[in-house]
Structure 1
Amino acid sequence: MKQEQSKIAILIGTRPEAIKMAPVVKALRNSQHYAPQVLLSGQQKDLSRSALKAFGLESKDVLVRHFDDYSLSGQASGYLDALSAYLKAQPVELMLVHGDTTTGFIGALAAFYQQIPVGHVEAGLRSNDLENPFPEEAHRRLIDPLCRLLFAPTQRARHNLINENANPNHIIVTGNTVVDAVHELATSPVDLQKHLADFIQPACRLILLTAHRRENWGAPMKEICGATRTLADRYSNLRFIVPVHPNPNVSSTVHAILGDHPHVLLVPPLNYMDLIAVMRRAYLILTDSGGIQEEAPCVGTPVLILRKVTERPEVVEGGCGRLIGTGRDDIIAQASTILEDPVSRERMIPERNPFGDGKAALRIVRAIDNWRHHRPLDMENNDFTFDPEIPGKTISQ
């Protein structure tokens, strides 16, 4: 007699969530025990669908298709109502949420209200500053106490959770699923869009710039763009590709300062295959993105982090990233050092990825297997060999 498959909901709101949850969805589907249901909150439904498509996945279930109120509270209340109704009509055995988005927080809360166990992929990241990043630091702190399964990407994340009195028996260190995702796509042949391929000239050094964080809106964004323009003027062989976030708080500043520079290409958000290809080709990455801090070591490209604090200190401690803030002079100085000193850049190329080995999704499925059968989550036999546990600390400027 065929065993009935366990229904597991995987909730996705943003493109980074889609990228990082795709390996988990595929690993669950490859197991005969599970029937994963991919749900889109509607937070970034088109970008999420595009990212899933890169992995051969799709989702037909979109909880909220249109918003009249795009405020944080408006989105949160919309997701909570829609997801609560969905879970009442189609109960599941386990809800998986990711990271620190509004979608992830509300997904954990809605499942908790329905007494459905929650698993948190990428649990335990901390900046220890509720204002940076905002509102993500609060979201991830609110998600973890609601969860029965805490999938910590690193030993440091596990230590953070234990410091907050999380049950050690609920935690397993898995590595970060973004490494799984990049490993899957990085070796695939990619035909870059023609305007990207034409812009990336072999004799030039390419810099990828991404900036969108709320805490960088306004004056910090002007500083970032001003530094970029100065670098583009100073080094004639540089070419900047800048995927522009559609939010007017970002796009208006970027276009005003960089829109007319011949060595700067402003483009809409890239599909994930193109983004990985550009990251691999880049000489240097400037970013305030959390995900790109993790992806850069996967492709061996140094990264300068345009933030005051990072919840991913492993990239700094591993030497493959530097936390430089958003000051114009600091950005110019740090980038110039790398551009003018090949040895400095070489030292930032990691020998070993601090975020994992590409087997995180398999460990997550194994932990779910053990949880369902009331077995330990397999910390003792975990073959994920990070460095010994390090006391948690904040990395900040």
Structure 2
Amino acid sequence: MIKTMIVFGTRPEAIKMAPLIKELQNDSNFDVRVCVTAQHRQMLDQVLEIFDIKPDYDLNIMKHNQSLYSVTADVILKFEEVLKKEKPDIVLVHGDTTTTFASALSAFYYRTKIGHVEAGLRTFNKYSPFPEEMNRKLTAALCDVHFAPTKRAKLNLLKEGIKEEDIFVTGNTVIDTLKYTVQKDYKFREPILNRIDYTKKVITLTAHRRENFGKPLENIFEAVANLADQFDDVLFVYPVHLNPNVRDAAERILRNHPRIILIDPVDVDDMHNLIARSYLVLTDSGGLQEEAPSLGKPVVVLRDTTERPEAVLANTVKVAGTDKHNIVDVVKRLLTDEEEYSKMAHAINPYGDGFASRRIKDALLYYFGYRKEKPEEFKGSDLYV
């Protein structure tokens, strides 16, 4: 059996690793171990409960007002003890968090093979997003096998000197997750979401990026308040991130508007079903740029850069940045121009077909010599290179 250690620490990582864990656990060729760092404690636990994932190891590193320094050091040291005990054949990490980089570095020090799920995303600006861009570049340099979600991501890796035989284009596992979560007759756990009139133009908002703290985040919230003032038939729903830098600004600027609903962070199935019932999505997140288009929802990105240019080329995403006037202009057009909205809502999502986890499993079987033929690549992104 291939002894596989899957490690992650945040809610977005858990959402994207959950279908892969299930896929590997259902194959007798794999002996799966799950280690969580709990870089984000509460929001991580929500996902683990929903997908019935019981970690074999919980490093429980989260501290009040934790820094990048403490997260990195704690993961490296605590994950070393797990590696010594388990001696896995391969460690699988995901994406671009500090947990990702630190656990990959710890595995490298232990001379353990490392696989990178969602490899090859780049903005080519090391401070945007911060620290994610460097986390994923440094992780790539440490890894042995790379699961790129798109062809563009594969080309990014090739340009960095990664061997082609070590790269597998799989699609993104987050599209697999939607098969588990979105339901037509879904009842929300968050009571407020059950009382919303979804015949209105509901706009889901998420904003939490570290590089947006301060004035950029205030600009985003001021733009949302402006739009809520202008449109009586629009309702904003904002699950507010727990970080005090986010919550303080949201409370100050958005709290008392009748067409803006502020709620605590919601479970992944609540979020996916909220998006499915929304008119469009405003976000500075990465994953929602992949998820929402699968549900036919246009996305306005509240960042100056995106490591997901395929979505821009496919016209499922528009990058508005953090200038409040530009955000208002972009959203206003989607609210008033039916043709423009329809083009985005019906565009093809280049990020996956719901079978990324199976492709990753097959790639691992091939990599370890359990199958002779290299698995077929996901082709849905080929037009957006």
Residue 253 to residue 69, structure 1, CA distance change in 2 (3 Å)? closer
Instruction: Look up the match of 2:295.
Output: 299
| Residue type of the alignment partner of 2:44 | S
Are residues 53 and 165 of structure 1, via their aligned partners in 2, closer, same or farther at CA, if it must alter by over 3 Å?
Answer: same
Does the alignment pair 1:382 with 2:376?
yes
- 1:52-131 to structure 2, matched below 5 A, reads 52-67=48-63, 70-131=66-127
Structure 2 CA distance for aligned equivalents of residues 309 and 377 of structure 1: 38
Q: Does 1:196 align with 2:190?
A: no
Contact 2:91 2:113 in 1 (8 A): yes
Is 1:342 the counterpart of 2:338? The answer is: yes
Q: Residue 126 and residue 244 in structure 1: after superposition, are their counterparts in 2 closer, same or farther (change >3 A)?
A: same
Alpha-carbon contact 2:351-2:381 (below 8 Å) kept: no
8 Å CA contact 1:64–1:79 kept in 2: the answer is no
- Displacement of 1:373 after TM fit? 1.1
How far, CA to CA, are the matches of 2:194 and 2:381 in structure 1? 39
What secondary structure is seen at the aligned counterpart in 1 of 2:287? Answer: helix
Aligned pair in 2 of structure 1 residues 341, 373: CA closer, same or farther (>3 Å)? same
Unaligned 5+ segments in structure 1 are 392-397
DSSP-derived class of the 1:295 partner:
helix
Structure 1 letter corresponding to 2:358: L
- Give the counterpart letter for 2:80 in structure 1: S
For residues 340 and 308 of structure 1, the distance between their equivalents in structure 2, rounded to whole angstroms, comes to: 24
1:38 aligns to what SS in structure 2? strand
Q: Does 1:264 align with 2:260?
A: yes
Shift of residue 389, structure 1, vs aligned partner: 7.1
Match of 2:224 in 1: 228
**Separation of aligned partners in 2, 1:167 and 1:194:** 50
Distance 1:106 1:284 in 2: 35
> Which AA in structure 2 matches 1:187?
Q
Distance 1:263 1:128 in 2: 38
CA contact (8 A) 1:171 1:377 kept: no
Q: 3-state DSSP class of the match of 1:150?
A: strand
Q: Distance in 2 between matches of 1:60 and 1:35?
A: 12
Shift of 1:46: 2.6
Instruction: Write the letter of the residue equivalent to 2:248.
Output: S
Q: SS of the counterpart of 1:181?
A: helix
CA distance in 2, matches of 1:250, 1:347: 32
TM-score (norm 1): 0.93
SS of residue paired to 1:348: helix
Residue 64 of structure 1, CA deviation: 2.9
Question: Which SS does the other structure have where 1:309 is aligned?
Answer: coil
> Separation in 1 of the partners of 2:373 and 2:11?
29
Distance in 2 (alpha carbons) for counterparts of 1:176 and 1:84: 29
Deviations 1:4-51, CA, capped at 9 Å, x for gaps? x33211001100100100111011011011121111112013322211
What residue in structure 2 maps to residue 395 of structure 1?
Answer: none
Contact 1:12/1:48, CA 8 A, preserved across alignment: no
Q: Deviations over 1:157-183 (max 9, x none)?
A: 000000011011100000000010112
Q: Could you tell me which runs of 5 or more consecutive residues in structure 2 were left unpaired when the two chains were aligned.
A: none
Distance 2:115 2:360 in 1: 9
In structure 2, distance between residues paired with 1:95 and 1:371: 13
Asked if residue 141 in structure 1 is aligned to residue 137 in structure 2, the reply is: yes
Describe the shift of the 1:251–1:315 C-alpha distance in structure 2 as closer, same or farther (beyond 3 A): same
Q: 1:26 to 1:70 in 2, by over 3 A?
A: same
When residues 218 and 383 of structure 1 are mapped into structure 2, their CA distance, relative to the original with a 3 A threshold, is closer
List structure 1 runs of 4+ shifted beyond 4 angstroms.
Answer: 374-377
- Going from structure 1 to structure 2, the CA distance change for 1:376 and 1:114 (only over 3 Å counts) comes to farther
Please provide the CA RMSD for this pair. 1.6
Q: Normalising to structure 2: TM-score of the pair?
A: 0.96
Query: C-alpha separation between the residues in 2 aligned to 1:288 and 1:351?
Result: 20
> Cα offset for 1:238?
1.0
